Every structure is written in C-alpha cells, then in structure tokens.
Amino acid sequence: MTQRIPRAAITCAMILAMSTLPPVTRKRRIAIYAAVFFAFIDNFALLPVIGPRAQQLGGDPLLVGLAVAAYSLANLAFDPIGGALADRLGRRRVVIAALAISPAAILVYAFADSLPLFFLARVIHGATGGVLGASLFALLGDAAPIGERGRAFGRAGALIGVAAVLGPGVGALVSTLYGTTAVFIGVAVLIAVGFLAVLPLLPETLAPSDAGSTPGAWRRIVADPRLRAAFLAIFGLEVAVGTITGFIKDGLIVRALTEGRDQAGALRYAAGASGGLFSIFGAIAIAMMLSRFAGRVDRRGSLGVSLVGLAALAAALLLLAVSPGLQADIVAMLLYGVGYGLIFPAAAGAIAIASAPTERGRANGVFNLAFDLGISAGPILGGLLATLTAAAAVPVSPFVGGLLLVVAAAALLPVLGRARA
C-alpha cells in the first residue's frame, strides 16, 4: 500500500533541493523577462496580417477565421503539456526548444504556398506558444525571490502589455509599407536574434534530481484553494480581454453610423478611437502592474485583490454595454486597465507562491489553460447573445456575455478560493 506524502513535506523537500542550484543573478532575471517579451510579441505583431495572408492563399471567410483561431486552439491544447514537460525535463531546455521552433514556424507563414502548409505552421506556432508560456512562467516563478513574486509577475505583465500595445500597430505599419511577407520575416528575425541573445543567460531553476514524474500532482493542483482562486481570476480577466478586444471596434462603428457618418468615415473614426482607448487601457494596466499593488499577493494573498479587479472589469463591461458616448468608453477603459493591472500579477504570483517547485510547470499549464479558455469564452458568449437577440425589441449588447461570465467568476471566487475546514 502506497503511503501518502503530505504536501508540506513535498514542498519543503523541493525547496531544500532547489538550494543546490546556483543563485539566479540580476542578469539572468533580465534574460527571463526578455524571453517573456519575445514569447508574446510575435503573436501580437502578427495579428493584423494572419487574416490577409490566409486570404492571399485563397481562403474564404470561414478558412480565414479558422486560420486566426488555429493558434489559440493549439495553444489551448499544449498549455498543460508544456507545464508537464517543464516539470519533467527542466525549464531551460523546454524554453530553448520552443524559442528555437517559433521563428521557424513564422518563416513558414511568409513562404507558404498553400493553405494546408499555412495551417500546419499556425498549429506548430500555437503549440510552441502554449509550451513556452507555461515553462517561462514556471521559470520566472522559480527565479523570483520569496516575497517578491507578485512584483516579478507585475513586471512580466507590464512587458506583455507593452507587446500588446506595440505589436499590432508596428505589424500593421510594416504590412502597409512593405507587405505581409516583410512582417513575417521581420518578426522571425527578431525572435531568432532575441533567442540567441538570451540563450547564454537563461538559467535552469529545477534541480535535475527533482525533474521527472510527481504522482498526484494534478490532483494536488486542482485541490489547492489558492491555485483555484488564481485560475478563476485569470479566467475572468481574459473573458473581459476577449470580449472588449472582440467587440469594441464594432460598437464604435455602429455608433458612428447612427451619428450620421458614412461607412468610410465610421471606419476611420472607429480605428482612431479604438487605438486611443486601448492606449489608455495599456498605460493604466502597465502602471498598476509596476506599482506597489503588484506585491500585495505576497503579503495578503490573491483573493481580495482579485475580487476588486473583477469588480472593476464588471463595471467596465457594464459601461461599454450601455455607453452613450466616448466619455463613458474612456471611463470603461480606465476601469479595464485597473482590473487587468490588479488581477494579472496577483493570479500569476499566487501560482508561484502556492505551487511546489516540481509542480509549478503543471500549475502554470492549468493557469494558461484558464487564460485561453477565458479569452475564447467571452467573445463566444457575447456574440451568441447578440445574435440570438438581434431581432428582439431590446437587443442585448455583446458586452453582456462577458459581464455575465465575469460576475459569475467573482461570485465563485470566495467559494473556490477558501480552504475547506
């Protein structure tokens, strides 16, 4: 009969084993942050050109939509796989393999001469993204000093925010000036050069003796209330991200048309207004993640700050659903930035705090799975509600779908995030 080993004993043993590894220096931490930036800039920069490239290869609207979604679907499938690999093989080698494969897949985008080859590259790129996200977050969680994990993930979140703000704009500009092929080649070169720059400095933070199978890891991860709270909080956050990103521009176009603008004028208005609104969001979110609020998870846990963040997101979605004008939109995006800036470092930091080192990769795999599920569920439910009520006397805004899911997450958070007596 197998004796059950208490989680506390496992955690203590892992911490003792980790002490045999060389310390993670400031330069190595900077290399990890750089890798986080490179891991996210590619997808953001390619967003404006994936659809047009699929169209160039003969894709109809359905195939174009599938080409855009293929990355996220592959990402979703490989989130837990990447986490398990990081726990079994070590963080560094998994990160290196994913960073090496990613630019190769992006180059295939540039030179693919058929949709099947383009789809294959899209799936491989998405799979490497799933593996890379889980292993990098595990690496950063290992490297962050105890008591500083919230701030460490706040910095990482700020870098992701910078990538989200800069990537689409730069990608669209390069595409306009030089064509879509130039975007793919440029991003592939950027990732490859960045990979070579950070490679010598990326540390291994999982002792070789700790790598391998850990029986019962998945069960312990799902059973831990602190981890459950982090998963639910990041799900709610990404519901808001997917909903707002998916529908805000369409809402601006409709408003501009009702105000009397022609189609071309409405498109110009929506492009400019949405760019400004997302800049406001990005500035607030980055400022929040770089502030002292990011460190609260290390002192007080993630539950309270996540609830405040979800409340801010719910208020933002409600405002966007009933917004009469641009002023209300600005307030909504301010609240959206506050919610994002509070939740991301709290939830990601909670994973690093609550998970044992040998299970941290798997925990981050589930974290990224919740991330991807949220970013898909929000726009799907919002679009479904809007479509079903389109002919009704009182049609429902697509933002209501995201609002319902965020409110549900906030209601369940105290229930799932508290330990059973």
Q: Between 392 and 222, where is the model more confident? A: 222
Residue 3 binned pLDDT confidence (cut-offs 50, 70, 90): very low
Note whether 205 and 24 are within 8 A (CB): yes
Does the residue 184 lie in any domain? Answer: yes
Give 282-294 pLDDT, tens digit per residue. 999 999 999 988 9
Give 251-269 pLDDT, tens digit per residue. 888 888 888 888 888 888 8
Does the residue 361 lie in any domain? Answer: yes
Continuous H helices in 259-358 = 263-289, 296-300, 303-322, 326-354
* CATH code of the domain covering residue 266: 1.20.1250.20
Residues 198 and 226 in one domain: no
Note whether 297 and 305 are within 8 A (CB): yes
Tokens 């703000």 correspond to: 165
Asked if pLDDT for residue 276 goes beyond 90, the answer is no
For residue 419, which phi and psi values (nearest 5 degrees)? -70, 145
**Average per-residue pLDDT for the chain:** 86
Residue 157 binned pLDDT confidence (cut-offs 50, 70, 90): very high
Residues 37 and 185 in one domain: yes
| pLDDT, mean of residues 45-69 | 79
Note whether 131 and 78 are within 8 A (CB): yes
Number of separate domains in the chain: 2
pTM: 0.86
Residues 255 and 294 in one domain: yes
Give 384-405 pLDDT, tens digit per residue. 888 888 777 778 888 999 999 9
Q: How far is Cα 9 from Cα 32, in angstroms, rounded to an integer? A: 29
Residues 340 and 390 in one domain: yes
Which pLDDT score, from 0 to 100, does residue 263 have?
A: 83
For residue 352, which phi and psi values (nearest 5 degrees)? -65, -35
- Report in angstroms the alpha-carbon separations of 94 from 319, 336, 338, 403: 42, 33, 33, 37
What are the structure tokens assigned to 397, written together? 């805004």
CB-facing half-sphere around the CA of 63: CA atoms within 13 A: 14
| pLDDT, mean of residues 15-41 | 78
Residues 368 and 297 in one domain: yes
Q: How far is Cα 344 from Cα 310, in angstroms, rounded to an integer? A: 11
Instruction: With CA atoms as reference, report the closest residue to 361 among 22, 94, 5.
Output: 94
Asked which of 172-176, 200-204, 309-313 is least confident by mean pLDDT, the reply is 172-176
| pLDDT, mean of residues 107-114 | 90
Residues 116 and 187 in one domain: yes
Q: How far is Cα 290 from Cα 191, in angstroms, rounded to an integer? A: 25
CA-based diameter of the chain, in Å? 76
| pLDDT, mean of residues 73-89 | 91
Q: Between 65 and 101, where is the model more confident? A: 101
Does the residue 267 lie in any domain? Answer: yes
Does the residue 14 lie in any domain? Answer: no
In one-letter notation, the amino acid at residue 151 is R
Which pLDDT score, from 0 to 100, does residue 226 have?
A: 93
Domain boundary among the residues 147, 169, 204 is at 204
Residues 170 and 257 in one domain: no
Residue 115 binned pLDDT confidence (cut-offs 50, 70, 90): confident
Residues 98 and 228 in one domain: no
Does the residue 13 lie in any domain? Answer: no
Residue 43 binned pLDDT confidence (cut-offs 50, 70, 90): confident
Does the residue 1 lie in any domain? Answer: no
Residues 247 and 120 in one domain: no
Does the residue 99 lie in any domain? Answer: yes
Which pLDDT score, from 0 to 100, does residue 104 have?
A: 93
Tokens 């900077």 correspond to: 30
* Domain extent for 162: 25-204
Q: b/e string for 84-114 if b means 16 or more Cβ within 10 A?
A: bbbbbbbbbebbbbbbebbbebbbbbbebee
Residues of the chain with pLDDT > 90, as a percent, come to 48
- Report in angstroms the alpha-carbon separations of 330 from 319, 320, 334, 379: 10, 9, 6, 21
Instruction: With CA atoms as reference, report the closest residue to 357 among 157, 204, 191.
Output: 204
Does the residue 119 lie in any domain? Answer: yes
The Cβ of residue 65 has, within 10 Å, a number of other Cβ atoms equal to 13
Which pLDDT score, from 0 to 100, does residue 421 have?
A: 46
Which pLDDT score, from 0 to 100, does residue 15 have?
A: 47
Residues of the chain with pLDDT > 70, as a percent, come to 93
Domain boundary among the residues 163, 179, 204 is at 204
Which pLDDT score, from 0 to 100, does residue 22 have?
A: 63
Residue 21 binned pLDDT confidence (cut-offs 50, 70, 90): low
Residue 17 binned pLDDT confidence (cut-offs 50, 70, 90): very low
Give 335-369 pLDDT, tens digit per residue. 999 999 999 999 999 999 999 888 999 999 999 99
Residues 304 and 379 in one domain: yes
| pLDDT, mean of residues 290-308 | 90
Which pLDDT score, from 0 to 100, does residue 36 have?
A: 93
Instruction: With CA atoms as reference, report the closest residue to 371 among 195, 264, 240.
Output: 240
Q: Between 344 and 249, where is the model more confident? A: 344
| pLDDT, mean of residues 269-296 | 88
Mention every residue, 6+ apart, whose C-beta is less than 8 A from residue 219: none
For residue 397, which phi and psi values (nearest 5 degrees)? -65, 145
Residue 420 binned pLDDT confidence (cut-offs 50, 70, 90): low
CB neighbour class for 148 (10 Å; exposed up to 12, middle 13-18, buried from 19) = middle
Residue 212 binned pLDDT confidence (cut-offs 50, 70, 90): low
Residues 105 and 153 in one domain: yes
Residues 267 and 226 in one domain: yes
Tokens 């050069």 correspond to: 193
Q: How far is Cα 246 from Cα 238, in angstroms, rounded to an integer? A: 12
Domain boundary among the residues 174, 204, 234 is at 204
